[in-house]
Structure 1
Amino acid sequence: MLKRSKTTVDVTTNITIRRPIHMVAEYAVNPDHAPEWYVNIDSAEWKTEKPLSVHSQIAFKARFLGKDLSYIYEIREFMPEQKLVMKTENGPFPMETTYEWESIDEQTTKMTLRNQGNPTGFSRWMTPLISVMMKNANKKDLKKIKEILES
């Protein structure tokens, strides 16, 4: 599903992974794994103490649309094996990312990845392109996590 307006990005993608929900969720929520399965993330650094919980902060370095980006996500909602919501307020593109997991059966999990944001400044004019590029990147990310977890 891809929704867009002139100033808002709202991209949702999902994939089915042949692994139990606990395996998929535990891997996905660990920021240390993010550079392994996110095509645009180069590094993740904990800014707060482990383990992951509401208010945890993680600094990410990424590359998107040819630009180097640095931003800090804060965990806003965390229900293990159900949902994770993290949000950044800083940078040219304030973003909220949501992971959700649904058990299809004991060995199969549906993972949904949603990114929502309101580009500011020059980025706002690129919203349609950002939406398409983000959708493509999210599809690659989910294919990569599926490949990692199913191998």
Structure 2
Amino acid sequence: MVDVATEIVIRRPRGVVAAYASDPGNAPSWYTNIKSVRWESTPPLAVGSRLAFRAHFLGRNLDYVYEFTELDPGTKLVMRTAQGPFLMQTTYTWADTEGSATRMTLRNTGQPAGFSAVVNLLMAPMMRRAMRRDLALLKQILEAA
């Protein structure tokens, strides 16, 4: 079982950060490991939406489908894998901070399957590094806009 959370403060209004981060089409621009996203349901994003992701992690291509289970625009988004090698739930939350900035938290919880026990032991630290890198890239993109 892994449970990894990381957060960052982005000097942009919460609505701007949440809109960009929750748009599945933007995922490949700020998630280093995500290579593509394809709608399996009809847009726009809503509870029950399903999207197919292709990622590259630990030297492997991973294909999985996320189903969106909670969506409170500008506040919280929760999605969980409906199929694929990672039984994972991803949660985004956004909160206002001083000076029109936004604190974004990214949390992944779940049970990776199909990997060796050794890789599973290393999964949380590797995920934490990747998540911090992704949030830093998101910050860079949004603060440059």
TM-score band by shorter chain is over 0.9
In structure 2, the CA distance between the partners of 1:95 and 1:133, relative to structure 1 (3 Å rule), is same
- Give the Cα separation in 2 of the matches to 1:93 and 1:73: 10
Contact kept, 8 Å, 1:21 with 1:101, in 2: the verdict is yes
What are the within-5 Å matches in structure 2 for residues 12-91 of structure 1?
12-91=5-84
* Ranges in structure 1 where 5+ consecutive residues have no aligned partner: 1-7
Deviation beyond 3 Å, 4+ runs, structure 1: 121-125
Give 1:138's aligned residue.
131
Contact kept, 8 Å, 2:64 with 2:85, in 1: the verdict is no
TM-score, normalised via structure 2 length: 0.95
Q: Secondary structure at the match of 1:51?
A: coil
Letter in 2 for 1:18: R
Q: Secondary structure at the match of 2:86?
A: coil
**Counterpart among 97, 100, 111 of residue 104 in structure 1:** 97
Deviation by residue 1:81-107 (Cα, 9 ceiling, x = unmatched): 110000003222211000000001352
TM-score, normalised via structure 1 length: 0.91
Give 1:4's aligned residue.
none
- Give the Cα separation in 2 of the matches to 1:31 and 1:137: 18
- Name whichever of 124-133 and 47-56 sits farther off: 124-133
Percent identity for Structure 1 against Structure 2: 50
Contact kept, 8 Å, 2:49 with 2:67, in 1: the verdict is yes
RMSD: 1.2
- Give the Cα separation in 1 of the matches to 2:118 and 2:112: 8
- Name whichever of 88-97 and 121-130 sits farther off: 121-130
**Counterpart among 111, 116, 120 of residue 127 in structure 1:** 120
- Give the Cα separation in 2 of the matches to 1:93 and 1:11: 14
- 1:59 Cα shift? 0.5
